[in-house]
Amino acid sequence: MLFSGQEIVKEGIFLYDGEIECDIRIVRSPVRFGTGDHEDEPHVRDDVEQVVFYVLYGSTTERGVFRSGSGAYESLHEAMTQLAAAAIGPTLRWAT
């Protein structure tokens, strides 16, 4: 599900556990979402109007459903390189 103002900027697929094909998306968002936790510092807790990128990971059991995602990245390049290096690996293939 996309929030108001978010736009899909990159889509692809990856293999989960080396064999389950899953969708992946990167969305541009006009808001960096805070935690909402009253115990956090304001710069962590509160939403901020700032263009950021989030990576959304597709379900391993249902194509087209996105149930998990990343924290905010400040650039598309950062989202793509951090994602490839840290989470997905060589099975990642971008369609757009």
Question: Domain for residue 1, yes or no?
Answer: no
What was the pLDDT predicted at 86? 67
Question: Domain for residue 65, yes or no?
Answer: yes
Band of residue 76 on the pLDDT scale cut at 50, 70, 90:
very high
What was the pLDDT predicted at 11? 93
Parent domain of 56: 7-94
Q: What is the pLDDT of residues 23-65, one digit of tens each?
A: 999 999 999 988 889 999 988 898 789 999 999 999 999 999 9
The residues pairing with 21 across neighbouring beta strands, listed in sequence order, are 15
Question: Domain for residue 35, yes or no?
Answer: yes
Question: Domain for residue 36, yes or no?
Answer: yes
What was the pLDDT predicted at 45? 92
Distance of alpha carbon 87 from alpha carbon 53, whole angstroms: 16
Q: Which two tokens stand for residue 39?
A: 């115990």
Domains held by the chain: number? 1
What was the pLDDT predicted at 1? 65
Q: Does the pLDDT at position 3 exceed 80?
A: no
